[in-house]
Chain A
């Protein structure tokens, strides 16, 4: 666990810091990804946890064939739920993310570079860092307004 003031929300490639998959922890014991100002019940934020340390299960997934500018095509996406351990009794901790390429590429180019892993509901997955998930500036969003690196998911062997 680390002080949330000293970490980045997601990734960290541009700062030279080691990329983290940062979720927020709150005074009521709940955890959310992404971090918010307060918990779903309004409790103050107390710190951060790094979701790289956790495995997750696929809640659902899709393969999108009509992707927006700067996004690989096709684009397999999954919502995953992290296994937070028996001591955690807060709301589910989930994330949405791209399913990783089999060749491990992470340059975010639109041709997808190659085959993406196949996943099914219930599959176990782990986060894998990619330095550019989507091409900054290709879409409508201001490139400097957010980070573009982050974590994809690949099946656990």
Chain B
């Protein structure tokens, strides 16, 4: 199996954009091709990570549309939908295309256009992933988060303030990300006084609705230096994907995301590393509680101890294990199909030493992308070549 290198990466500004999904995808895709020094007609495969362009915008066929817009025909194309983990699933498919030998040069672009929809409409599109017995009760992803947060705080005797500190940390990180939707610090009182959305979680415990796109160019590591110098590419040294139950209440421990556990075990084994070897991580903080759950289920901290790491500053940018240096979904924004790709973009920037004001010391980084409420997960480990 070929080892796979990322030789180019890009992301658009995240936030409320005038551009529609085709334009967003083309913006990030063209920038990534430019970053790698290749053209559309060099591509063998082109993947688009996107959850719901048909539902949000009435635009389907986005992978073929992008191939045309980037002059990439006759490249093989496919759209990857894995709900909020569409981006991570796209990374998996793009990696697989190169690792298998099916493609010598692959472009992955993740993108979503959402902000033209009301919060109620966008929430319903996302909640449509739920089982009929969940959907009819009006469950939303935020309400799953509220129920899980209440149980976590109760089981592990964690203070409500610890969740708020995730939001404070990630907003602070987002200030230095020129692509982030929110580049503004918030203090703990603001978080804790914001309106209740799904008790005990409040407005600032949730990521925003976002437009945006991100892209990666991948090739076999054996030829990476034909495109870019050795210190400008990163290797996907480990990757895993896994699912958990579709029906959330059927999980034996509602505070454990089995897909995170299983996908990370696969990724660690492939990379030949463990949680202690990870220098920086991007986690799927669609809700603040998810940062606790993932940091524990990835093996960074013992079960029920993730909140203490945040309290003690371990996950700050200058801490022992910086988490969400990009600002995370919380501050950077969450254009569904783009988010998993943008997580890998941030890790790529970190392990190639190109993260600017957000730079931390990092040879090995991890990105964990979660779909549904832990229903489907991908974990990717990147190693720099500096």
Contacts from A to B (Cβ < 8 Å):
9-10, 32-34, 40, 59-72, 75, 77-79, 91-92, 94-98, 121, 133-134, 139-141, 145-148, 150
Q: Mark the stretch among B177-185, B228-236, B243-251, B334-342 that contacts chain A.
A: B243-251
Contact A140 B133 (CB under 8 A): no
Query: Closest Cβ of chain A: how far from B47's Cβ, in Å?
Result: 25
Q: Give the residue name and chain of the B residue nearest to A136 (CB).
A: B136
Contact A69 B140 (CB under 8 A): no
Q: Does B16 contact A (CB under 8 A)?
A: no
* Chain A neighbourhood of B55, CB < 8 A: 140
Q: Does B151 contact A (CB under 8 A)?
A: yes
Indicate which residue in B120, B125, B249 contacts A79 across the interface (CB closer than 8 Å).
Answer: B249
Q: Give the residue name and chain of the A residue nearest to B143 (CB).
A: A64
Q: Mark the stretch among B38-46, B164-172, B192-200, B274-282 that contacts chain A.
A: B192-200
Indicate which residue in B133, B134, B254 contacts A59 across the interface (CB closer than 8 Å).
Answer: B254
Binding site secondary structure of chain B: helix
Q: Does B147 contact A (CB under 8 A)?
A: yes
Contact A95 B249 (CB under 8 A): yes
Known A66-B197, A69-B121: A60·B139 in contact at CB below 8 Å: no
Contact A66 B250 (CB under 8 A): no
- Chain B: interface residue total (CB-CB under 8 A): 40
* Chain A neighbourhood of B151, CB < 8 A: 59-60, 121
Contact B139 A133 (CB under 8 A): no
Indicate which residue in A10, A71, A72, A77 contacts B133 across the interface (CB closer than 8 Å).
Answer: A10
Contact A145 B197 (CB under 8 A): no
Query: Closest Cβ of chain B: how far from A79's Cβ, in Å?
Result: 5
Within B130-144, which residues are at the interface with A (CB < 8 Å)? 131-140, 142-143
* Chain A neighbourhood of B137, CB < 8 A: 75, 77, 96-98, 133-134, 150
Q: Give the residue name and chain of the A residue nearest to B52 (CB).
A: A140
A140 vs B150: C-alpha distance when bound (angstroms) = 29
Q: Does B158 contact A (CB under 8 A)?
A: no
Query: Closest Cβ of chain B: how far from A37's Cβ, in Å?
Result: 12
A117 vs B344: C-alpha distance when bound (angstroms) = 45
Q: Does B119 contact A (CB under 8 A)?
A: yes
* Chain B neighbourhood of A60, CB < 8 A: 147-148, 150-151, 154, 254
Query: Closest Cβ of chain B: how far from A22's Cβ, in Å?
Result: 10
Query: Closest Cβ of chain A: how far from B252's Cβ, in Å?
Result: 6
Q: Does B124 contact A (CB under 8 A)?
A: yes
**Interface mask (B36-64 → A, CB under 8 Å = 1, otherwise 0):** 00000000000000000001000000000
4 additional A-B residue pairs with CB within 8 Å, beyond A68-B124, A96-B134, A96-B139: A59-B151, A68-B121, A72-B138, A78-B147
Q: Does B266 contact A (CB under 8 A)?
A: no
Contact B196 A96 (CB under 8 A): no
* Chain B neighbourhood of A69, CB < 8 A: 120-121, 124
Contact B136 A68 (CB under 8 A): no
* Chain B neighbourhood of A33, CB < 8 A: 133
Q: Does B123 contact A (CB under 8 A)?
A: yes
Indicate which residue in B124, B147, B196, B247 contacts A77 across the interface (CB closer than 8 Å).
Answer: B147
* Chain A neighbourhood of B196, CB < 8 A: 63, 65
A63 vs B142: C-alpha distance when bound (angstroms) = 10
Indicate which residue in A32, A64, A75, A140 contacts B124 across the interface (CB closer than 8 Å).
Answer: A140
Contact B150 A141 (CB under 8 A): no
* Chain B neighbourhood of A75, CB < 8 A: 137-138, 143
Q: Does B309 contact A (CB under 8 A)?
A: no
Query: Closest Cβ of chain A: how far from B275's Cβ, in Å?
Result: 27
A150 vs B252: C-alpha distance when bound (angstroms) = 23
**Interface mask (B172-213 → A, CB under 8 Å = 1, otherwise 0):** 000000000000000000000001111111000000000000
12 pairs of residues in contact across A and B, judged by CB atoms under 8 Å: A34-B132, A60-B151, A64-B140, A64-B198, A65-B195, A67-B120, A68-B138, A92-B252, A94-B249, A95-B249, A121-B150, A145-B132
* Chain A neighbourhood of B252, CB < 8 A: 91-92
Query: Closest Cβ of chain B: how far from A115's Cβ, in Å?
Result: 15
A96 vs B263: C-alpha distance when bound (angstroms) = 26
Contact B128 A67 (CB under 8 A): no
Contact A148 B136 (CB under 8 A): yes
* Chain B neighbourhood of A96, CB < 8 A: 133-134, 137, 139, 248-249
Q: Give the residue name and chain of the A residue nearest to B127 (CB).
A: A68
Indicate which residue in B131, B133, B248 contacts A150 across the interface (CB closer than 8 Å).
Answer: B133
Q: Does B365 contact A (CB under 8 A)?
A: no
Q: Give the residue name and chain of the B residue nearest to A133 (CB).
A: B136
Contact A66 B249 (CB under 8 A): no
* Chain A neighbourhood of B119, CB < 8 A: 66
Q: Give the residue name and chain of the A residue nearest to B133 (CB).
A: A34
